[in-house]
């Protein structure tokens, strides 16, 4: 799938919001500036968030709870995590029970850690757009209708 503009990235997030549920993990992979936060912003806005979601690069984990969003969401940015062990303290395993996890830089913990995640990879294209590919696990097969 091609995302030609920042608006396309936001719109993809909005479309994801229509099919996500608590317990899901959406992994957003791709180089610096690929549009990961933009997709997360579109998704959070469509779940009800009124203010623009900040990038969680410094907080690492940015939680959102009702009534600001429809159900609990953790927006996570693992860019600054250097060792997988550092992530244990973030409480992601417990959070997964009742929250949606949106994870930027998921590869910091290794792909296997996210075996049931909807894994979206973004690449920059020479013309300034973004190319998106999806790795779709069983839990998403009847929901990933976007390509
Ligand atoms: N599909 C797109 N086409 C062109 N530009 C885009 C697209 N999506 C997002 N952008 C722009 O790319 C820039 C970086 O976007 P964003 O912050 O979402 O990237 P990121 O992947 O989260 O970066 P980081 O790795 O720093 O967290 C922003 O200026 C954004 O508007
Ligand atoms: Mg980002």
The predicted pLDDT at position 94 comes to 86
Between residues 90 and 14, the one the model is more confident about: 14
Q: Is 99 in the pocket of ligand 1 (CB under 6 A)?
A: no
- In the chain, % helix, strand, coil (3-state, to 5) comes to 30, 25, 45
The predicted pLDDT at position 112 comes to 86
> At 147, is the pLDDT very low, low, confident or very high (cuts 50, 70, 90)?
low
Nearest CA to ligand 1 atom 15: 35
The predicted pLDDT at position 43 comes to 98
Q: Is 104 in the pocket of ligand 1 (CB under 6 A)?
A: yes
Distance 121 CA to ligand 2 centre (A): 13
Reported as half-sphere exposure (CB side, CA atoms, 13 A), residue 63 has a value of 11
Q: Which residues contact 35 (CB under 8 A, 6 or more apart)?
A: 3, 6, 9, 122, 130
For 43-83, write each residue's pLDDT tens digit: 999 999 999 999 998 889 999 999 999 999 999 999 998 88
Nearest CA to ligand 1 atom 6: 6
By percentage, how much of the chain surpasses pLDDT 70? 98
Instruction: Kindly tell me if the per-residue pLDDT of 146 is higher than 70.
Output: no
Instruction: Kindly report the backbone phi and psi dihedral angles of residue 146, in degrees, each rounded to the nearest multiple of 5, phi listed first.
Output: -95, -10
Q: Tell me the average pLDDT of the chain.
A: 93
Distance 127 CA to ligand 1 centre (A): 14
d(CA 66, CA 126): 40
Q: Is 35 in the pocket of ligand 1 (CB under 6 A)?
A: yes
Q: Which residues contact 79 (CB under 8 A, 6 or more apart)?
A: 57, 104, 105, 108
6-17 and 36-46 helices, crossing angle to 10°: 50
Distance 92 CA to ligand 1 centre (A): 25
Distance 19 CA to ligand 2 centre (A): 22
d(CA 134, CA 9): 14
């Amino acid at each position: 799938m091609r995302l030609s503009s920042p608006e396309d990235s936001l719109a993809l997030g909005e479309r994801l919001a229509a099919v996500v549920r608590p317990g899901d993990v959406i992994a957003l992979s791709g180089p610096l500036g690929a549009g990961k936060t933009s997709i997360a912003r579109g998704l959070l806005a469509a779940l009800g968030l009124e203010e623009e979601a900040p990038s969680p690069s410094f907080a690492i984990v940015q939680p959102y709870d009702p009534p600001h969003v429809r159900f609990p969401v953790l927006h996570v940015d693992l860019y600054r995590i250097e060792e997988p062990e550092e992530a244990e303290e973030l409480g992601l395993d417990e959070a997964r029970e009742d929250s949606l996890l949106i994870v930027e830089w998921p590869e910091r913990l290794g792909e296997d850690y996210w075996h049931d995640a909807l894994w979206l990879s973004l690449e920059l294209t020479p013309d300034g757009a973004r190319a998106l590919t999806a790795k779709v696990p069983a839990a998403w097969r009847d929901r990933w209708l976007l390509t």
